[in-house]
Structure 1
Amino acid sequence: MRHDTFPAPSTVSEQAQEWLAFDKSELTYPALDDTGGWLALAEEADRSAARRFPVADLPVTVEDLDVDGVAVYAARPEGVEEAADEPVYLWMHPGGLVVGGGDACRMTTARTAAGAGLLVWGVDYRLPPLHPYPAGLDDALAVYRRLLRDRDPARVFVGGDSAGGNIAAALLLRAKDAGLPMPAALVLNTPQVDLTESGDTFRTLAGVDNVLRSLRTPNALYAAGADLRQPYLSPVLGDLTGFPPTFLRSGTRDLFLSDTVRMHRRLRDAGVAADLHVFEAMPHAGFGGDSPEDREAVAEQRRFLAGHGVPLREMEDA
């Protein structure tokens, strides 16, 4: 089934309709043992992403950090002044757990900071084929530990988009198991939280989502033989008791809609305050970032963060 079997509805903006008109999901993956092929795919994908949204065009300054051996991009929006105990959003980039690092991570971190309106630390976590699971998750945990040494947990926020949502949610499971305090809140935008792809929309929206298709091959590369049902790989299957308040966002054409709504229900069942936002006709990751719907999603996330410790002045000035 092709996405163009389902024309864009009149219920969304013109920008959203234009985004839905094009198929962006076609991608051929190398064989699992083709290390060179995976590295070439990542290089091209990351170069393309970095070209699309130059960091210099954003009202954000980015500093490259080495945080206990992990590459981190610290992105500060204009108007957000540095302070000793300012809130920090620890953010994990998208990319199917195989791409999105380097300059692409630097760019997406800057865009995230511009939207969130606070200091963002984007973790350039290690990726397969050279660094499969649990290398990337280890990186995220190392940076989280460092933030907790410098800040009250109430000033730390954690989140991620798509594959980054996997790392972010798994990070909190690891942190809880290690006896570390939880952050002030968690943000999961169209999160990839079940690598087994068991949810309903992996079938009902296959070919409907014009941005994303099954990631079974990249999932296998990332897991490197580990059981995909392990909670650190598929966080929706973990014990979510004690998680902080969580924001979740998806769309009615998002292949990961099942992942998102199942995560929301699991959080609610665990007694966690969780807000779910599902946007009309939105495919995976939104409508390209510039539509009214995308801006509304960013505004909802800002309101959520403001309700959990980010000063309203910083939200308004960014």
Structure 2
Amino acid sequence: MTDIERNAHIPVRTIPPPRSISGEARLALSRLVGEDGTSVNAQYQMPEPDDFDGWMAVKSAADAHYAAALKSVAGSLRSEVETIAVDQATIHVARPSSPFDERGALIDLHGGALVFGGGEACLTSARRQADRHNLRCYGVDYRMPPEHPFPAALDDCVAAYRHVLEHHAAERIVICGRSAGGNLAAAMLLRAKAEGLPMPRGLTLLSPQVDLTESGDSFQTNRMVDLVLPRSLMSNNLLYANGADLADPYLSPLFGDLQDFPPVFLQTGTRDLFLSNTVRMHRAFLNAGVDAALHVFEAMPHGGFMGGTPEDQEIEAELGKFIAAVFE
């Protein structure tokens, strides 16, 4: 035996879509592989944290991509939406078209690596959530860098939560955060607890970006294996933090005091770059005495297979059951 740390060297290998998942999911993975055998997303490189113009160009391109992707979705949505301003936060309030429980509320915090996903994408997400869960949905279009680094996004989320508490009892509120939105959802509740605000009835964290230090194992083991998010987001993290310590719990809520949090639904996949984030967060919740359920899907990359695969439908069904259950 040796007390010397040694790195494991992995031979170059080819990783096929496994037969353990649906045919639709295998096709979804295959569509993410380029002719050279690597992720089609591997070509995208984030600018250096201090490259303001570079980030603005990337954000513009991302907004155009989101707009094109959402065209077909927007036409199928039934909910109505109103956009309001609360302090410096922009909130898209979506109301289902069918009869619904006016007392309940869902706060939706979008993903996008802490830099992308606002505007029309955020508005459409709020409408989709309102349709899916038949609840009033508050989509927080939080400010983002490079124009608005930390703590602007977190301030906006806390302002939105205070606003929703003025219209709904805490026990009738569920917070939903995806990826970067999962970071903000957990950090927002850390702030809410510190400021004496009541906890909501439930929290959902879908592949949450809860450790900006990227200390987890899957940042190495799933690098380039996650075909959606093949590389580190450290440049995004440093841009967002704007010089603050990445281990600060308001930046990396994995390291915060999670006691007294509400019941939590966590989801990830075995090929997710953020797999370690999610399983470590689940363990941290359990250690804090929080009721937390972890859902890990076979071969799933960051954000799901997308495209309506049986696995994606299963996530939506499980999420819907969780949200319905916390309101019982």
Partner residue, 1:29: 46
CA deviation after TM superposition for structure 1 residue 66, in Å: 1.8
Residues 227 and 162 (structure 1), Cα distance of their counterparts in 2 relative to 1, 3 Å cut: same
**Structure 2: unaligned runs, 5 residues or longer:** 1-9, 33-38
Tell me which amino acid in the other structure corresponds to 1:238: G
Please identify, of 252-261 and 15-24, the stretch whose mean Cα deviation from structure 2 is larger. Answer: 15-24
Question: Does 1 or 2 have the higher relative contact order (CA < 8 Å, sep 6+)?
Answer: 1
| Residue pair 1:287, 1:293 contacting (<8 A) in 2 also | yes
| Residue pair 1:60, 1:75 contacting (<8 A) in 2 also | yes
Alignment partners' CA distance in 2, 1:116 and 1:261? 26
CA deviation after TM superposition for structure 1 residue 24, in Å: 4.2
CA deviation after TM superposition for structure 1 residue 155, in Å: 1.0
Matched, 1:181 2:198: yes
Tell me which amino acid in the other structure corresponds to 1:120: C
Superposed CA deviations along residues 75-117 of structure 1, whole A, max 9, x for unmatched, are 233324473xx21111110000011111121122223333333
Structure 2 residue corresponding to 1:75, chosen from 78, 91, 94: 94
Tell me which amino acid in the other structure corresponds to 1:62: V
CA deviation after TM superposition for structure 1 residue 4, in Å: 8.8
Tell me which amino acid in the other structure corresponds to 2:270: T
CA deviation after TM superposition for structure 1 residue 30, in Å: 1.6
Partner residue, 2:314: 296
| Residue pair 2:175, 2:200 contacting (<8 A) in 1 also | yes
Matched, 1:56 2:56: no
Partner residue, 2:171: 154
Partner secondary structure for residue 318 of structure 2: helix
Tell me which amino acid in the other structure corresponds to 1:75: A
Partner secondary structure for residue 286 of structure 2: helix
Partner residue, 1:87: 104
CA deviation after TM superposition for structure 1 residue 49, in Å: 1.2
Structure 1 residue corresponding to 2:27, chosen from 18, 22, 45: 18
Superposed CA deviations along residues 267-316 of structure 1, whole A, max 9, x for unmatched, are 0110000011001111000011411111110110111111111x6xxxxx
Alignment partners' CA distance in 1, 2:272 and 2:134? 26
Alignment partners' CA distance in 1, 2:97 and 2:62? 28
Alignment partners' CA distance in 2, 1:57 and 1:39? 31
Partner residue, 2:217: 200
Partner secondary structure for residue 94 of structure 1: coil
Partner residue, 2:5: none
Residues 194 and 92 (structure 1), Cα distance of their counterparts in 2 relative to 1, 3 Å cut: same
| Residue pair 2:90, 2:140 contacting (<8 A) in 1 also | yes
Matched, 1:137 2:154: yes
Alignment partners' CA distance in 2, 1:82 and 1:308? 14
Alignment partners' CA distance in 2, 1:80 and 1:70? 28
Alignment partners' CA distance in 2, 1:76 and 1:18? 35
TM-score normalized by the length of structure 2:
0.90
Structure 2 residue corresponding to 1:120, chosen from 116, 119, 137: 137
CA deviation after TM superposition for structure 1 residue 233, in Å: 0.3
Structure 2 residue corresponding to 1:217, chosen from 221, 235, 238: 235
Structure 2 residue corresponding to 1:166, chosen from 179, 183, 189: 183
Alignment partners' CA distance in 2, 1:118 and 1:253? 32
Partner residue, 1:66: 85
Alignment partners' CA distance in 1, 2:16 and 2:89? 44
Alignment partners' CA distance in 2, 1:130 and 1:81? 38
Partner residue, 1:283: 301
Superposed CA deviations along residues 106-139 of structure 1, whole A, max 9, x for unmatched, are 1222233333332211100000001000000000
Superposed CA deviations along residues 193-213 of structure 1, whole A, max 9, x for unmatched, are 000000011111111100002
Alignment partners' CA distance in 2, 1:256 and 1:24? 19
Tell me which amino acid in the other structure corresponds to 1:249: Q
| Residue pair 1:29, 1:217 contacting (<8 A) in 2 also | yes
Alignment partners' CA distance in 2, 1:266 and 1:202? 18
What's the Cα RMSD here? 1.8
| Residue pair 2:258, 2:285 contacting (<8 A) in 1 also | yes
